[in-house]
Structure 1
Amino acid sequence: MPVDHYENFPVASLLVPPQLRRPIEVIYRFARSADDIADEGDATAGQRLADLKAYHSELDRIGSGSPPQTPLFADLADVIQAHRLPIQLFRDLLDAFAQDVVKQRYADYPELHDYCRRSANPVGRLVLHLFGRTEAEHLEQSDCICTALQLINFWQDVAVDWKKDRVYIPQTDFPHFKVSEADIAASRWSANWAALMDFEIDRAQTLMLRGAPLVHALPGRLGWEIRLTIQGGLRILERLRQVRGDVFNRRPKLGKWDWVVLAGRSFRM
């Protein structure tokens, strides 16, 4: 189940109507390349921020009706115009990527949730705009699903993110469960750590289930795409519970058999 690096974006999936595959591919290229600017390679923080600012400038050109200066943004301008996509959603993504460059900790859950609002939710909203399903209820359900996927990725990758000096577990949660970042540094599992992870898992699961009814409002093939995505996220949470949050030694991932399970559960949604 892909729950990281925009691979939860339905890129050219066979479940996506043919006429929307190119727009989704273009949006994906924008998100993926901007994310790579923030995360990949050995560029300095200053260079990363400058490159992301250049992306902002290209969006400003699109917004003002001026021709973009790069092929990627020329393609993006066509997609934005053809489907009347809100440019602010693209700006939100860039703001989140820039935040990744300079911010490694989150004080509390509201602060983390605001990050997810900009780093994950725009993807789902853009897909809904492509399909013309922008009712407030559906946008909110999409936000729940996308934030849940982002949180699942964080809980799944606690140890991976630590190597990048990033901690997405809210700082206020550590003392409540009598654990600390020292436990992450030492890859130290304990009953207290398991309780913390159960708490975080519950947060993500609640959001995912709140957003799940969206599948009944979407066209057939997209609905199935989202069904599989939701069930994949829930399956990762299930695996996290099975290992009692021990992401240090047993990072959960899905295998071939899990896809059979996901398909069966998708039919029952």
Structure 2
Amino acid sequence: MRVGPSGDGTPGGELLSLPECYERCRRVERYHSRTYYFSTQLFPREVRPHVHAIYAFMREADEIVDDPGEASLEEQLAGLDGFEAETVAAISGESVANPTLRAFANTVRLHGIELDTVNAFLGSMKMDTRVFRYETFMDLKSYTYGSAAVVGLMMCRIMGVTDAAADPHAEALGEAMQLTNFLRDVGEDWERGRVYLPQEDLKHFEYTEKDLASGVIDERFAKLMRFEISRARRLYEDADRGLHYIPRGRRYPIAVARRLYAAILDSIEANGYDVFSGKASTSAAKKLAVATGCAARDPKDLVARSRSRRAPGTAIPA
């Protein structure tokens, strides 16, 4: 199938070139996530396109579920099934029209990303169409493994991490970022009919879904949020213990992303745990301050990064 003027191909219906596919992924990441994009730009030149491809792949699958428009549940599942089939075909080397999948498949093959991690991610996306509550934190972890922990594993592969001992720490970072998203988006997720706060935690702090629907912020909710924030911070600390596994020249962006995301937790606290009236975020000034602070902590990584950068204009490897 050829793609036309919808943005997936050229106006004449020709497939985009591989570099053009990666460029499209870059624009997707830049448009949808200023924090991720800011951190991605700190990677050496040869790593960035693959980060863009992973982000765009996951964003496209996520939007089938989170922004379905008028699509019914059956249509969402059909859309995910079709996306999954095209993903497998692309990774297998078949020609597909979707530029995101073409770039992502190239990244998967080039860096040896395990198909199991791709399947786990798509499995969690399907869970979002049928599972809307999680009784325990362990139940939630079955979802966050596919939705977030595998992102850490994929990032390990494209960064050239070779020691398997790094994997649990990479998974912890993905999970910590996902939990941070959940806490930031409590109100937004409620409007979509989803509650990612474990039911056992709501019961423990005597906070009900009726309270959630009304956006009640009281001492019960504050205690609940403090508990969940502490859980996320422990995961960030676990992730920190694996930073040394990342080759020099590639640690700095991970450290920046980790601290920027953890700073969202600080913003939630500073806002009095009000996650209903708007999203907690980090300002441009905060991003620059974090980046400067991380550089001061590990200046040798910046030196290694500058030496590893490829010459401008080098083609993306296929």
Q: State the partner residue of 1:256.
A: 284
Give the CA deviation at 1:11: 8.2
Aligned residue number for residue 79 of structure 2:
51
Paired residues of 2:134 and 2:140 also in contact (CA < 8 A): yes
TM-score (norm 2): 0.75
Asked if 1:156 corresponds to 2:193, the answer is no
Q: Which amino acid in 2 is paired with 1:36?
A: E
- Match of residue 112 from structure 1: 140
Give distance in 2, aligned partners of 1:7 and 1:48.
27
CA–CA distance in structure 2, aligned partners of residues 196 and 14 of structure 1: 35
Offset, 1:264:
4.6
Which deviations, in whole Å up to 9, do the C-alpha atoms of 1:6-52 show, x marking residues without a partner? 77655893322222333333333221111111111221111111111
Q: 1:90 aligns with which of 118, 129, 148?
A: 118
For the pair 1:245 / 2:282, whether they are aligned, the reply is no
Relative to structure 1, the CA distance from residue 66 to residue 46 in structure 2 (aligned partners, 3 Å threshold; closer, same or farther) is same
Residue pairs, 1:160-199, within 5 angstroms: 160-199=188-227
**Are residues 1:16 and 2:43 paired?**
yes
Percent sequence identity is 27
Aligned length: 265
1:145 corresponds to = 173
Aligned equivalents of 1:52 and 1:249: distance in 2?
A: 31
Question: Structure 1 14/7 Cα, relative in aligned 2: closer, same or farther at 3 Å?
Answer: closer
Q: 2:261 aligned with 1:233, yes or no? A: yes
Structure number, greater radius of gyration: 2
Larger deviation, residues 32-41 vs 203-212? 32-41
CA deviation map 1:74-121 (0-9, x unaligned): 443333222222111111111111111222111110011121100011
Contact 1:106 1:171 (8 Å CA) reproduced: yes
Moved more, 91-100 or 130-139: 130-139
CA distance in 2, matches of 1:200, 1:259: 24
Which 5+ residue runs of structure 1 have no aligned equivalent? none
- Measure how far apart 1:234 and its partner are: 2.0
Q: Would the aligned equivalents of 1:194 and 1:246 in 2 still touch at CA under 8 Å?
A: no
Q: Residue 97 of structure 2: which of 54, 60, 70 is its match?
A: 70
Secondary structure of 1:105 counterpart: coil
Aligned partner of residue 282 in structure 2, secondary structure: coil
The farther-off stretch of 167-176 and 244-253 is: 244-253
Distance 2:284 2:110 in 1: 38
Contact 2:163 2:245 in 1 (8 A): no
Q: For structure 1, which segment, 47-56 or 66-75, has the greater mean C-alpha deviation from structure 2 after superposition?
A: 66-75
* 1:137, distance to aligned residue in structure 2 (A): 2.3
Contact 1:62–1:68, Cα closer than 8 Å, also in 2: yes
Check 1:142–1:6 CA distance in 2 against 1; reply closer, same or farther (3 A cut).
farther
Contact 2:39 2:254 in 1 (8 A): no
For 1:34, which of 57, 61, 80 is the aligned residue? 61
User: Which amino acid is the alignment partner of residue 80 of structure 2?
Assistant: L
Indicate the residue corresponding to 1:218 in structure 2: 246
Paired letter, 1:239: S
Aligned pair in 2 of structure 1 residues 182, 12: CA closer, same or farther (>3 Å)? closer
Q: What amino acid maps onto 1:227 in structure 2?
A: A
Matched position secondary structure for 2:133: coil
Q: CA deviation at 1:215?
A: 2.9
Read off the aligned partner of 2:123 and give its amino acid letter. Answer: D
Q: 1:6 to 1:113 in 2, by over 3 A?
A: farther
Look up the SS of the partner of 1:166 in the other structure: coil
* Equivalent residue letter for 1:32: R
Matched residue SS, 2:199? coil
CA distance in 2, matches of 1:152, 1:181: 20
Deviates more, 1:201-210 or 1:244-253: 244-253
Q: Give the drift of 1:68.
A: 4.3
- Which of 89, 102, 108 matches 1:80? 108
**1:262 Cα offset (Å):** 1.7
CA RMSD of aligned residues (A): 2.4
Quick one: distance in 1 between partners of 2:118 and 2:291?
32
User: Where in structure 2 are there 5+ consecutive unaligned residues?
Assistant: 1-28, 299-318
